[in-house]
């Protein structure tokens, strides 16, 4: 477990990156707001605590890899990558604009840390498994992380990949699943309940941790624990609040896929500015 | 005596040979390794073979992950499932990120036979050809298959190779040269240009020989590289001869014939006719019966050529 100073630092990065996300989405006037805000602690813990990667040497062969399966939350990834130094934050201006590497959904550009094109839900788990199998074949000690969402768990292909990772005992695989209960048309439990996810993954041969995904200490310790698991892939089911950090967006399906208006942005930034890590 | 070898058999052998020379080669299958012949590789290199079970989306997605890690994955299943079931995965996780995945799918076309229309993909060339950056190849015999597998491995980027179930005659010896993006003129004649691919090359040659005896001289082109198409070879020939007939064991919508129409459509004075499966489904029957029923036999080609010449 890292020191409380480190936790505070990670919380502070999360706060800043939430503001970055809101600003880039506001500028783009299109994109998904709720998801990226809700999963920020996990993204920050991966990029600034857990993963071995080097923005100065982005193609370093022994880097850990991250696949953002729920690609519509791309702004959270872009915020982390720019903050880490893969590309300048001025690029945020061009999100979703013609010719910009910051496409609406990730488009592969490993030199910028964008490992894979994603956006069509359900495909990332298998892709990350392929990376993990290759790492095993090459006897590399790298770890392969992927992020998923609860809506994504309605895709059949996710379960094909889950079955493969369990069957092949991919203990270099760690998935995080942003369980915010919300998808586009409303609450997940009203559309097609994916619960109980822990039992489902366990039945497929996974080690499962269930945590509060907005609690940095819990996120960090789950990532540490996952590394100790042998003979199984790990699934971290993270209960989160969609829109976390901005009261008007929190737990509101309506804000899944809309961007903040001028007034909302002002309010949101003010609110995020008021937060000081406890 | 002509040898008869199925292109899938040639694929299995070529793959095993490839595995010897290049440790980056990994092979994935979806519970059909006996049929796709990847089992030959599996036996030789068990640690580099991955049976994904009956899960074609996972098959393609995992192959994409292998490619991200610098491997050269060959993903195999029946064509129906590899590019039919998993089409959107091929598009978004292989073609769009332009990954080095080779999809070598067997049992394409009507010649799957008795399994019927659910297994007979006559749309795969249309489905793969439409993706930017995707290379689409159809071998005519075992020699070409072997060279194609080698060329695919050496090529950086996604490749689709369409393989068949039935045995086909050996057309080419080791002097034959397959190249991605190259069409091969395998017979010359001034009266009609026949452009064929895959299992239609042999009956087209046979038809050309029959036509010769009846005073019609045909040029026959084996167009194994559907994408990229060999414009440098095809355009001048089509301009010179004027009448073109395409031949494929695929729907006439979206396959080789369509590709040739797209290529030649800008030139005045060239008529392109398409021979293949018309806009209908396949059905259960032995392969030979189907080929007869859907008019893909040498005698059908002879008849079609005469009809086409009467029209132009
Ligand atoms: C295969 C596929 N189908 C549909 C969509 C459109 N889509 C984008 S986000 C989304 C909702 C998914 O909910 P979830 O992944 O839980 O997102 P969150 O609310 O957590 O942001 C849908 C249906 C898609 N991107 N991919």
CA dist B62 and A149 (Å) reads: 19
Q: Which helix (H) or strand (E) holds B79?
A: helix B79-79
Q: Which residues make beta-bridge pairs with A144?
A: A65, A173
pLDDT at A256: 82
Q: Phi/psi at A207 (nearest 5 deg)?
A: -85, 130
Q: Which residue in the set B47, B88, B93 is minimally distant from A127, CB to CB?
A: B93
Residue B212 annotated to the active site: no
Q: What is the mean pLDDT of chain A?
A: 96
pLDDT at A276: 64
3 state DSSP class of A169: coil
A to B CB pairs, distance under 8 Å: 97
Please tell me if the CB atom of residue A194 comes closer than 6 angstroms to any atom of ligand 1: no
The atom of ligand 1 lying closest to the CA of A152 is: 15
CA dist B16 and B38 (Å) reads: 8
3 state DSSP class of A90: helix
User: Please, which pLDDT band fits residue A254 given cuts at 50, 70 and 90?
Assistant: confident
Interface of B with A (CB under 8 A): 26, 47-48, 50, 52-53, 55, 57-58, 60-71, 73, 88-89, 92-93, 96-98
CA dist B152 and B51 (Å) reads: 21
CA atoms within 13 A on the CB side of B219: 23
A136–chain B Cβ distance below 8 A for any pair: no
Residues of A in contact with B71 (CB under 8 A): 134, 137
Q: Which residues make beta-bridge pairs with A239?
A: A179, A212
Q: What is the pTM of this model?
A: 0.95
A256–chain B Cβ distance below 8 A for any pair: no
User: Please, which pLDDT band fits residue A1 given cuts at 50, 70 and 90?
Assistant: confident
CA dist B95 and B90 (Å) reads: 6
Q: Which helix (H) or strand (E) holds B249?
A: strand B243-251
Q: DSSP class of residue B93?
A: I
Segment A209-224, tens digit of pLDDT: 999 999 999 999 999 9
Q: Which residues make beta-bridge pairs with B103?
A: B75, B160
Please tell me if the CB atom of residue A256 comes closer than 6 angstroms to any atom of ligand 1: yes
Positions of chain B with pLDDT under 50: none
Q: Phi/psi at B255 (nearest 5 deg)?
A: -100, -140
Q: CA quadruple A209, A178, A89, A106: dihedral positive or negative?
A: positive
CA dist B43 and B227 (Å) reads: 32
CA dist B189 and B220 (Å) reads: 8
pLDDT at A277: 53
Assess whether pLDDT exceeds 70 at residue A278.
no
CA dist B199 and B278 (Å) reads: 17
Look at residues A116, A8, A192, A93 and name the one whose alpha carbon lies nearest to residue B69.
A116
pLDDT at B67: 98
Q: CA quadruple B77, B80, B83, B88: dihedral positive or negative?
A: negative
Torsion-angle region of residue A172: left (phi > 0), alpha (psi -120 to 50) or beta? alpha
| Residue B246 token pair | 């395409």
Assess whether pLDDT exceeds 80 at residue A137.
yes
Assess whether pLDDT exceeds 70 at residue A265.
yes
Q: Which of residues 45-104 of A touch B (CB under 8 A)?
A: 65
| Residue B257 token pair | 């014939």
In angstroms, the separation between the Cα of residue B287 and the nearest Cα of chain A is 33
Give the C-alpha distances (Å, rounded to integers) separating A233 from A118, A129, A159, B78, B98: 21, 10, 13, 30, 28
pLDDT at B270: 98
Which of the residues B20, B47, B56, B144 is marked catalytic? Answer: B56
Q: How far is the centre of ligand 1, averaged over its atoms, from the C-alpha of A155 (Å)? A: 10
Contact A129 B55 (CB under 8 A): no
pLDDT at B2: 86
In angstroms, the separation between the Cα of residue B57 and the nearest Cα of chain A is 6
Q: Which residue in the set B26, B62, B88 is minimally distant from A126, CB to CB?
A: B62
Q: CA quadruple A244, A249, A254, A255: dihedral positive or negative?
A: negative
pLDDT at B223: 98
Beta strands across the sheet bearing A144-149: A65-68, A144-149, A173-179, A234-239, A207-212
Residue for token digits 């092979």? B27
pLDDT at B94: 98
pLDDT at B301: 98
Look at residues A133, A183, A145, A190 and name the one whose alpha carbon lies nearest to residue A42.
A145
CA dist A237 and A253 (Å) reads: 20
CA atoms within 13 A on the CB side of B11: 33
Q: Phi/psi at A160 (nearest 5 deg)?
A: -60, -45
pLDDT at A104: 96
Contact A130 B67 (CB under 8 A): yes
Residues of B in contact with A124 (CB under 8 A): 61
Mean pLDDT value of segment A128-155? 98
Q: Give, in degrees to the nearest 5, the angle at Cα A146 between A141 and A151.
A: 160
CA dist B94 and B65 (Å) reads: 9
3 state DSSP class of A103: coil
Segment A30-57, tens digit of pLDDT: 999 999 999 999 999 999 999 999 999 9
| Residue B123 token pair | 């749309």
The residue to mutate among A25, A148, A183, having the most atoms of ligand 1 within 8 angstroms of its beta carbon, is A183
User: Please, which pLDDT band fits residue A255 given cuts at 50, 70 and 90?
Assistant: confident
Question: pLDDT > 90: what percent of chain A?
Answer: 95
Residue A3 neighbours by CB distance under 10 Å: 8
CA dist B281 and B263 (Å) reads: 27
Contact B89 A157 (CB under 8 A): yes
Contact A130 B47 (CB under 8 A): no
In angstroms, the separation between the Cα of residue B78 and the nearest Cα of chain A is 18
Segment A79-120, tens digit of pLDDT: 999 999 999 999 999 999 999 999 999 999 999 999 999 999
Residues of A in contact with B92 (CB under 8 A): 117-120, 123
């Amino acid at each position: 477990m890292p020191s409380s100073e480190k936790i505070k630092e990670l919380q502070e990065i999360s706060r800043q990156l939430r503001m970055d996300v809101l600003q880039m989405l506001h500028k783009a006037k299109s994109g998904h707001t709720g998801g990226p805000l809700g999963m920020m602690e996990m993204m920050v813990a991966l990029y600034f605590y857990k993963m071995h990667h080097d923005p100065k040497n982005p193609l370093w062969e022994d880097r850990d890899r991250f696949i953002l399966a729920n690609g519509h939350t791309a702004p959270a990834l872009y915020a982390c990558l720019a903050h880490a130094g893969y590309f300048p934050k001025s690029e945020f201006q061009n999100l979703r604009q013609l010719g910009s590497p910051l496409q609406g959904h990730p488009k592969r550009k490993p030199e910028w840390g964008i490992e894979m094109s994603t956006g069509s839900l359900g495909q990332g788990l298998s892709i990350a498994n392929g990376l993990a199998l290759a790492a095993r074949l090459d006897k590399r000690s790298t770890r392969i992380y992927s992020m998923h969402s609860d809506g994504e768990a309605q895709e059949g292909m996710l379960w094909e990949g889950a079955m493969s990772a369990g069957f092949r005992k991919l203990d270099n695989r760690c998935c995080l699943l942003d369980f915010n209960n919300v998808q586009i048309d409303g609450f997940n439990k009203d559309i097609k309940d994916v619960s109980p996810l822990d039992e489902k993954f366990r039945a497929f041969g996974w080690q499962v941790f269930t945590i509060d995904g907005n609690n940095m200490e819990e996120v960090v310790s789950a990532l540490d624990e996952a590394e100790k698991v042998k003979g199984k892939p790990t699934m971290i089911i993270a209960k989160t609040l969609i829109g976390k950090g901005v009261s008007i967006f929190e737990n509101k399906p309506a804000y899944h896929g809309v961007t903040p208006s001028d007034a909302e942005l002002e309010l949101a930034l003010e609110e995020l500015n008021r937060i000081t890590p406890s | 005596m002509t040898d008869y070898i199925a292109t899938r058999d040639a694929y299995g052998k070529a793959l095993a040979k490839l595995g010897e020379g290049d440790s980056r080669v990994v092979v994935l299958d979806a519970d059909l390794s006996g049929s796709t012949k990847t089992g030959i590789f599996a036996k030789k290199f068990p640690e580099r073979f991955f049976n994904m079970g009956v899960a074609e989306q996972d098959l393609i997605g995992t192959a994409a992950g292998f490619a991200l890690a610098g491997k050269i994955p060959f993903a195999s299943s029946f064509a129906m499932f590899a590019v039919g079931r998993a089409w959107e995965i091929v598009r978004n996780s292989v073609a769009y990120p332009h990954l080095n995945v080779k999809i070598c799918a067997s049992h394409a076309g009507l010649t799957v036979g008795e399994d019927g229309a659910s297994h007979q993909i006559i749309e795969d060339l249309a489905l793969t050809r439409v993706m930017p950056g995707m290379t689409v190849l159809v071998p005519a015999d075992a020699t070409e298959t072997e060279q194609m597998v080698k060329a695919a491995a050496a090529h950086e980027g996604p490749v689709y190779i369409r393989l068949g179930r039935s045995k086909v005659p050996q057309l080419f010896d080791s002097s034959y040269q397959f190249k991605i993006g190259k069409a091969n003129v395998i017979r010359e004649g001034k009266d009609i240009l026949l452009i064929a691919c895959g299992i239609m090359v042999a009956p087209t040659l046979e038809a050309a020989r029959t036509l010769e005896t009846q005073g019609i001289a045909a040029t026959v082109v084996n167009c194994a590289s559907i994408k990229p198409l060999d414009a440098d070879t095809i355009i001048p020939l089509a301009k010179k001869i004027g009448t073109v007939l395409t031949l494929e064991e695929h729907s006439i919508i979206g396959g080789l014939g369509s590709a040739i129409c797209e290529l030649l459509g800008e030139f005045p004075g060239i008529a392109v006719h398409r021979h293949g499966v018309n806009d209908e489904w396949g059905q259960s029957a032995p392969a030979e019966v189907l080929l007869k029923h859907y008019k893909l036999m040498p005698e059908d080609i002879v008849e079609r050529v005469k009809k086409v010449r009467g029209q132009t």
